[in-house]
Each structure stands twice: as structure tokens, then as C-alpha cells.
Chains A and B, each alone.
Chain A
Amino acid sequence: GQNIDQPTEMTATEGAIVQINCTYQTSGFNGLFWYQQHAGEAPTFLSYNVLDGLEEKGRFSSFLSRSKGYSYLLLKELQMKDSASYLCAVMDSNYQLIWGAGTKLIIKP
């Protein structure tokens, strides 16, 4: 079967750094996405990785290792507005998105 695993909840301090991990097992791979979702809102796109390595975009970076079926989202200089759920999703061989359950990130002052 297809499976995406990520922690249910994480807590971090404002100004600090947090890493959210995602491991996956899917039938085929056409890229991995990270989305941010605030409560009551639709997901918004953060990053897309299809090759191994680190992609940096401002305070957010995303890493991918295809051989390990592993990705992480790194958030630096955390702000209170970063409190949200972070969804990991993998596009399989049929170009369907397989979604993780999401990681709820709580930022404390």
C-alpha cells in the first residue's frame, strides 16, 4: 500500500528552528510537496522536490532523499504566524497526490 508518515504535532519557540520530517512509501514517485494549512483555510503551496537535495526558499527549506523515501521541511526564524498544519504529499506514478495526515506546528512565544 501507499503510506506517508509525519509527526502529528510539534511545538517550537518563536525565533527558533524546527524540522518536520516525512517518510513515504508509494507506487512510483513524481515529486514531493509541502503545503501549509491554517485552520479553516485551504492548503497553500510551500515547496516541490523531485531531485535529491535541499531547496531553499527564504525562511523555509525542503530536503529530499529518494533512496531513503524521506523528506523534511525546515523552518527558520519561526514567527507566530507559522503556527499551522504542514502537509507532506507525494505524487505517485499516476500523478495522484498521496497525502500525509499533516503535522500541527504550535509556536510558543
Chain B
Amino acid sequence: GAVVSQHPSWVICKSGTSVKIECRSLDFQATTMFWYRQFPKQSLMLMATSNEGSKATYEQGVEKDKFLINHASLTLSTLTVTSAHPEDSSFYICSARKLAEHNEQFFGPGTRLTVL
């Protein structure tokens, strides 16, 4: 199998606080993990590509100091939304690609973030 988990599933926080979201590949090793954001009724928007042991590559328009990504192991990547504001409220989804495979990405179940 190829299972990806995310934690938490949903989170509500106050404006100005930081929130950490974890993405884990449970039964495979993932050299590459991807972080997406999806606003209601819109498609997935790639935020950054995370490679184990190196710095993440951010897409244009995504603030790297606001969305901190750490990919410390082959099974875990974390996204920290720093100083969250209401406009950061969204559905955050991670996906993982298997070691040495270039095709399919396996998606986590997503994290619903609401910033009050």
C-alpha cells in the first residue's frame, strides 16, 4: 500500500498564532513531499516541494518565512504556518512520492485550518 497521514485533520486557532501540520508516509519512504493549498471551489495550488534533507522549493508568491517546511526524514514533513491570519484559512493537503519513482503522488487526507 501507500498510505499518507496528516495531523491534525482540522484546527482552529487565533490570529497571530502558529500552527504545525504533519505529513507522514506510513508504509513507504518518500524522498519528495508536496504541500498544496485549496480554497473553496478552487483547484489544488502547489505551495512547495519538499525534499528530504534539503531546503524546500517554494512556488512563486508563497512566502517561505511564513510557511516553514521541514522534511527531516524519509517519512515525515511538517508545514508550520507562522503568525496565521484569517486569510490563511484553507484546506492544506500534502502528498508524497515514493523513493525512486516519478509518477504517482499519494495524498494525505488534508488539514482544514480556520484562523479566527
State the A residues within 8 Å of B (CB).
Answer: 30-31, 33, 40-45, 48, 50, 87, 91, 95-97, 99-102
Binds A, one of B13-21, B62-70, B106-114: B106-114
Q: Is the CB of B46 closer than 8 A to any CB of chain A?
A: yes
State the B residues within 8 Å of A (CB).
Answer: 34, 42-46, 49, 91, 93, 102-110, 112
Given contacts A97-B46, A101-B42, A101-B43, contact A45 B109 (CB under 8 A): no
A29-B91 Cα distance, complex, nearest whole Å: 28
Given contacts A33-B104, A87-B44, 5 further A-B contacts (CB under 8 A): A30-B103, A31-B103, A45-B104, A48-B104, A96-B49
Contacts of B49 in A (CB 8 A): 96
Contact among B42, B102, B110 for A41, CB-based, below 8 A: B110
Given contacts A42-B108, A43-B107, contact A95 B102 (CB under 8 A): yes
Contacts of B104 in A (CB 8 A): 33, 45, 48
Contacts of A40 in B (CB 8 A): 91, 110, 112
